[in-house]
Copies of this chain bind each other. A is one copy, B any other.
Amino acid sequence: MKSTTEYFWFNSPEHRAYINITDNVSKVVAKSGIQDGLVLVSAMHITAGVFINDDEPGILEDIDEWLEGLAPMGEDYQHHNTGETNGDSHLKNILVGHQVIVPITKGQLDLGPWQQVFYAEFDGQRRKRLMMKVIGE
């Protein structure tokens, strides 16, 4: 079994952002030389997510509005007694999930035609980290 680990930093100017990182994942896999295996793509913060969906601006707006409806910003969360203001960002992280596994076949990401990997920032304007670990042969 071979493995490769890489870290990426984000610092989004927006409070919330949805960033297509599919090319980053592809490059890490290509560099690893792994032909068959899995790559874990995992946010290292509890106020960010990673998901796979369509890179269509309308659906990304829909996702953002929907998340805001189900886990609204500015509610009176208990977490805010610590001085934090990002309770909603934690809930959005749980709803979306913070990691995906992308299969690798013949050295390529084995994704469907519309599947793109997104880093979802739910509490931006600060440095946040994501990791990728490729394992396989």
Q: A residues near B, CB below 8 A?
A: 1, 3, 5, 36-38, 40, 42-46, 51-54, 56-59, 61-63, 65-66, 70-71, 77-82, 87, 90-91, 93-101, 103, 105, 110-115, 129, 131, 133, 135-137
Say whether B53 contacts A133, CB under 8 Å. no
Knowing that A1-B1, A59-B79, A94-B96 touch, tell me 14 more A-B residue pairs with CB under 8 angstroms.
Answer: A1-B137, A38-B133, A42-B103, A43-B112, A45-B112, A46-B52, A46-B112, A58-B79, A58-B82, A59-B90, A66-B91, A70-B70, A110-B133, A135-B135
Considering the complex, give the chain B residue whose CB is closest to the CB of A102.
B42
* Stoichiometry (number of copies): 3
Q: Please name 18 pairs of A and B residues whose Cβ atoms are closer than 8 Å in the assembled complex, sorted by A.
A: A1-B37, A5-B36, A5-B103, A38-B40, A38-B133, A44-B113, A45-B112, A46-B112, A46-B115, A56-B82, A58-B81, A62-B79, A62-B87, A63-B91, A65-B78, A66-B71, A98-B100, A105-B133
